[in-house]
Amino acid sequence: MQHEVEVEPGVTVWVEDLPPVEGAAPAAPMLLVAGGDETGLGRWPDPLVDLLRARHRVIRYDHRDTGRSAHRFDEHPYRLADLADDALRVLDACGIDRVHAVGAALGGELVQLLALDHPDRLVSAALLATTALETAAPETAAPETADPYTAGPYTAGPEPAGPDTSALETAAPATADPDPDPADPADPAMPVPGPSAAALPGPSRDVLRMRQEVQDPRDERGELAWRVEFRRRLCGGVLPFDRAEHAALERAVLAHSGRIEPSTAHAAEADPVGLDRGAELGAITVPTLVVEAPEDPVYPPPHARSLAARIGRAARTVTIEGMGHLLPAVVHEPLAALLLDHAAGAGEPVTSQPTQR
């Protein structure tokens, strides 16, 4: 079921509310929060959503100024942090009290805000391809690819190695940390600070170069080709890249959005004030899964472990080997298994049903 939710007078966001598969045991719904300048469809592909619906009602939506949501930043400016309030309004409109919140990239930062300010609304949190609030800086996103936030204290990362990995066919299984060393700052039982923002690596130079091209004029064919190529860079360089898969997703996003112009309000216009709250992360009590993507060229290691260390006892880190910044089909099964297991371990059954409209 698709509908619009008004997040402030005159501003609506597109929401898709999908029921669990028939026969699934009652469980709290799962809210999927996309990154900056991304649509829900572009960040959370249908096959991944279908895997999550094996146990959960799933909500995905377009942030304002993306996809089918209102594009009215000039008339209704906002802070990036205000997008967390939009997520609450989506939940309210769907009649949902508590949810498993899953956020990627900027969406991961928004879920951190929800865990800090509205822990009563979250059964659990899962964060992937993201960074701690304290290190957050204005992102700039390639349309429907990722939000490579690059300003602030980061330094550019290394050039991608670009190994020939055509023989790889599947993602390596997810691996959790072994029994952590008591002195290891990534030990979720030890709420000690992770690396400072200045110590964390920034996006690769490869990603930075393409970032500068986001708003270059292109026709539809050129825009599609550019997006697919940027997706290739953002996926890392270890898992195989299926160009046809990514082209099909981008065609679906273009059709969904009804425009070829890139969404750039989050990166270029929205105020990042309100994301700099890393000092508070140790107060999070919501059970939190941090998924480490070792090939992420936007938030490379140790961003994930730094984030988990800042949260402390409520967080645990699991690595999906070979995963980059995006979610291609090859990582859907291991990622869905992680998210489903994390939710099952954190939540009580909830019998809420989709709002009828």
DSSP state of 173: P
User: In angstroms, rounded to a whole number, what is the distance separating the alpha carbons of residues 145 and 140?
Assistant: 11
Mean pLDDT of 80-105: 97
Indicate the pTM of the whole model: 0.84
Q: What's the pLDDT tens digit per position in 2-46?
A: 999 999 999 999 999 999 998 888 899 999 999 999 999 999 999
Which whole-number Å values give the CA distances from 76 to 79, 141, 181, 325, in the listed order?
A: 10, 20, 49, 30
User: In angstroms, rounded to a whole number, what is the distance separating the alpha carbons of residues 131 and 118?
Assistant: 20
Weakest-pLDDT range from 96-100, 111-115, 353-357: 353-357
β-bridge pairing 11-18 and 201-204: unpaired
CATH number of 2-346: 3.40.50.1820
Closest CA to 1 of 95, 94, 92, 122: 94
225 φ/ψ angles, rounded to the nearest 5 degrees: -60, -40
User: In angstroms, rounded to a whole number, what is the distance separating the alpha carbons of residues 99 and 30?
Assistant: 6
Weakest-pLDDT range from 15-29, 86-100, 112-126: 15-29
Please tell me the total number of residues recorded for the chain in this structure.
357
Q: Which residue has the higher pLDDT, 177 or 155?
A: 177
Give the DSSP per-residue string, 30-61: EEEE--TT--HHHHS-HHHHHHHTTT--EEEE
User: In angstroms, rounded to a whole number, what is the distance separating the alpha carbons of residues 305 and 317?
Assistant: 7
User: In angstroms, rounded to a whole number, what is the distance separating the alpha carbons of residues 328 and 248?
Assistant: 12
Instruction: Please report the pLDDT score of residue 202 as a whole number.
Output: 93
Mean pLDDT, the chain, whole residue set: 85
DSSP collapsed to 3 states, 199-215 = HCEEEEHHHHHHHCCCC
Residue 245 amino acid letter: E
In the chain, what is the straight-line distance between the N-terminal and C-terminal CA atoms, in Å?
Answer: 9
User: In angstroms, rounded to a whole number, what is the distance separating the alpha carbons of residues 293 and 332?
Assistant: 13
CB atoms within 10 A of CB 154: 20
Q: At 195, list the tokens.
A: 């690396």
pLDDT at residue 143 is higher than 90? no
User: In angstroms, rounded to a whole number, what is the distance separating the alpha carbons of residues 268 and 6?
Assistant: 23
CB atoms within 10 A of CB 328: 23
pLDDT at residue 200 is higher than 70? yes
Mean pLDDT of 296-325: 97
Instruction: Please report the pLDDT score of residue 262 as a whole number.
Output: 85
Instruction: Please report the pLDDT score of residue 196 as a whole number.
Output: 57
3-class SS at 288?
strand
